[in-house]
Structures are given as C-alpha cells and as structure tokens.
Structure 1
Amino acid sequence: MATLYHSPFCPNSRFIRLVLAEMGMEPTLVEERAWERRRDFLIVNPAGTTPVLVEQTGLAIPGAGVIAEYLDETRGLGLAGRRLLPDTTQARVEVRRLLDWFLVKFNSEVTEYLVTEKIDKRFMPSSAGGGPPDMNAIRAARTNVRYHLQYVGYLIGQRRWLAGNDLTYADLAAAAHLSCVDYLGDVPWDEDEMAKDWYARVKSRPSFRALLADRAPGMPAAAHYADLDF
C-alpha cells in the first residue's frame, strides 16, 4: 500500500487525495507539519513540502504536479473512460495549463494566504512564523478569490467541466483549493452561480467525502461546508 504524506488543509495534498480516491486507491495517510522540518521527512523530500507519495517499493514522488503525472503514467491507461489526463495532446495541454493555474497561481494568490494566516499560524511556533494572522494578507486573498471564481464560472459557461467534456485533474485541483477557502467561509458563492453549481457537482462525488469530514482543531467549518446542496 502506498503512503501519502500530507496536511489536511494543504490544498495540493487535498488534490492528490481526490485523485487517489477517484482512482480507487486508499493510501496510508501520514499527517506532516511542514514547518517542523522533521528529519525523517526531509530525507524523503528535501524540499520539506507536502504532498509526497511513497510507493510500496520505496519510490518517493514529491509535489502535486509530479504525483499527478506519475499516477497517469502508471495507472492512467487502466482507467479507460475515467482517465483524469486526456488522451489527446491538445486536451492534455489544457488540463496542464489549468493545473498550473490552480496549483500555483490560485495557491499563491489565495489559498496560501488564507490557510497560513487562519489555520497554520495557530499551530506554528513563533520561530517558524506563528502568531496572529496578517489581516492584510487575508484581505488580499478575499479580493483575489473573486476573479478566480469568475474564471471558473467563465470556463463552466463554455464546457461541462473545467477543461472539457470530462472530469479531469483540472476540476480536482480547483475543487481542492476552493474547498480549503470554503471551509473558512471565504468563497463568495453568491457572486457566480455557474461556479457554485460546478463545485456542488464535484463535492457530491464519493471521492470528496473524506475532505468534507476534515476539521481544523478549534476552528469549525463554515455552516454550508459539508452540505452537498449548499
């Protein structure tokens, strides 16, 4: 059985948890607090970041994008019509473009600010950056999430799913990031019904159940977080 080193509210870890669930894989989950710089974890991934997937053979695959590509190479063909990275070159480019949008751009402009300031800093020692939240960072993230939500709505206005007619890595990456923001109650869903309807479809999938059960100690989820119908 594979092992996934993750953090419950690391959005890129959530993405890989969704991917594994969609593929029917049930890895052993090991929670990792990246700021602790644990020696044994640094041996597995010198970058000290989550997620990291470790196969039974001992092969360690670090980083959400690398893991997604690895899983497609090793399991994708066996998924037939459920493959999360399309078969054609053009379609694969679009999925990879959107993966970069959410795993990198959305993360740096929205999720990283909110998760760090509202969740992680409550558990981090001051030497690692813990302490009161930076309200300027939170305000910036709340502003930025609006145009990202509009972009999701725009894409869904053109397609059934974000990258085309089928569910792909792009949908799971976007939903993983939005799920963290949604837990904190910072997604203005009333501003874009198309984006809201798309997210409801994704979070209604069986693969999402484990994410909806996650809770941050001392911080309850937004009232609608686990409500499949909002």
Structure 2
Amino acid sequence: MFTLFHHPFCPQSRFVRLALGEYGLDLRLVEERTWERREAFLALNPAGTTPVLIAEGRPAIPGAGIIAEYLDETHGAGMGERRLMPTSIGERIEVRRLMAWFNDKFFEEASNPLVTERIYKRFMDEQDGGGAPAADVIRAAKANVRYHLAYIGWLAKTRNYLAGDRLTYADLAAAAHLSAIDYLGDVPWVEDDAAKAWYARVKSRPSFRPLLSEWLAGVPASRTYVDLDF
C-alpha cells in the first residue's frame, strides 16, 4: 500500500495517480494544501510541494519525476508490455524529455498558473496569496495552452502515442496536466483534432476514472471533462 500526499487538482499529483493506476498499485490519498506549510509535511518534503509518495520502509519520495523513476525501478520490469518506461536508451531519453516538458515547462507556463488562480486561491488566506484571480496571469497561461496543445497534436499525428508506439509516462504526464485545466474549460479542443483524439484515447483508460469522478464544490466541471466522446 502506497500513501500519496497530493491535491486533487495538482497536475503532477494527477500524473502519479495515473501511473499508479496503470500499474494496479493500491493507494491511499492524503490531501495536502501546500500553502498551509504544515510542519509534518515539510519534514517529508522540505520543498513543500506535492506530490510526495510514501512506500513502507522507504524514505519519502518527493516529486513527480523521482516517483516515476522509483516506480519503474521497483515495478517496471515485471509489467512487460505495460511498462511505462521503454527499455531502449533512445526511447527512455524521449520519454524523460517529454515528462520534463509537461511536468516542468507546461506546469510552469500553463497548468500551475491556471490551477493556482482559479482553484487554489479560493482556499488560501489573504496572507498566503489568496484573493481574486489575476486576469493577466490567466490570460497569459491560456495563450500558452494553445501552443502546448499544438505540440501535442504534432506528436500525436507523427506517432501512435506521444513518445512512440505505446503508452508511456509521457502520455500520462501530458494527459494529467490537460485534465486539470480541462476541468476548468481552459483547453481549446476545437483547435487541434489530433490532440483531442489522442486525449480521448488516454482519458478512456480505467486509470483515469478516479480523476474524472472528482468534483470541486462551487466550481463545476466543464462540459468536456467527463465526456469520453467530447
């Protein structure tokens, strides 16, 4: 049994949940509001960020990339064709590159600003940065979503999945970030049919069901969020 300190709309936490779901690993979720800076959580991860995975008998495992590598090292070899990290060096480099693209670049430029402004700030005290959403931040992040979506569409048109012939961490990372902002209605799906078709395939996987069942009081999900045929 794993324990994951997460926030339901943290895109990187969603990535880890998808990976654990694909591997069929039991998971206990603990919601963490990182802006509260709890001492017990900071003892697990001094950076104060989610996700943090706890595996019995192991040190706390912080960060989406480190958790992905840990899961591959401990469970990947036994997954056969369902392994989320390829075995060849060249393919592993490409998966890692795209994981970093989405968990770092997309996160910084698009998903984190949108989730922070439109979700987290609702629950933050004013001294922690809460308050009204910043319209200029949202506008810039939504513009960035468009070029990331175009890149996903280009990858989807040239490959079966984003990093190659089969599902990998790269697909889960991209889908996790898109899912968080799709809840808010901030993905312009009409602009790229290839990206939309790829996302529909990934969203239809059983590992996605727990994410699609989560709702935020006072913030209704967009029309496309739970619709598998959107």
Q: Do they fold alike, i.e. is TM over 0.5?
A: yes
Q: Partner residue of 1:212?
A: 212
Q: Secondary structure at the match of 2:164?
A: coil
Alpha-carbon separation, structure 2, partners of 1:146 and 1:45: 33
1:156 paired residue number = 156
Q: What is residue 184 of structure 2 aligned with on the other side? A: 184
C-alpha separation between the residues in 2 aligned to 1:217 and 1:84? 33
Q: CA RMSD in A?
A: 0.6
Cα distance in 2 for partners of 1:131, 1:194 equals 37
State the identity as a percent: 63
Give the Cα separation in 2 of the matches to 1:148 and 1:22. Answer: 24
Residue 16 of structure 1: aligned partner: 16
Paired residue type of 1:122: R
1:88 corresponding residue in structure 2: 88
Partner Cα separation in structure 2 for residue 151 and residue 2 of structure 1: 34
Deviation at 1:224, TM superposition (A): 1.9
Deviations 1:30-86 (A, max 9, x none): 000000011111111111110000011142100000000010001000101100000
SS of the equivalent of 1:53 reads: strand
SS at match of 1:3: strand
Partner of 2:131, secondary structure, is coil
Return 54-63 or 113-122, whichever deviates more: 54-63
Number of the residue aligned with 1:120: 120
- Runs of 4+ deviating beyond 2 Å: none
- Compute the TM-score of the two structures, normalised by the length of structure 1: 0.99
Worse overlay, 53-62 or 202-211 = 53-62
Q: Which residue of 2 aligns with 1:200?
A: 200
Aligned to 1:69: 69
Structure 1 residue 38 corresponds to structure 2 residue 38: yes
Alignment of 1:125-136 (within 5 A): 125-136=125-136
* Map of 1:106 onto structure 2: 106
Shift of 1:223: 1.4
The residue type paired with residue 141 of structure 2 is: A
Q: Which secondary structure does the structure 2 equivalent of 1:4 belong to?
A: strand
Alpha-carbon distance in 1 for matches of 2:130, 2:43: 25
The aligned counterpart of 2:229 is 229
Counterpart secondary structure, 1:119: helix
The reply to whether residue 4 of structure 1 matches residue 22 of structure 2 is no
Q: In structure 1, what is the Cα distance between the partners aligned to 2:35 and 2:198?
A: 34
Q: Distance in 2 between matches of 1:68 and 1:224?
A: 28
The SS at the match of 1:194 is helix
AA partner of residue 145 (structure 2) = V
How many pairs were matched up?
230
Specify the code of the residue in structure 2 equivalent to 1:181: I
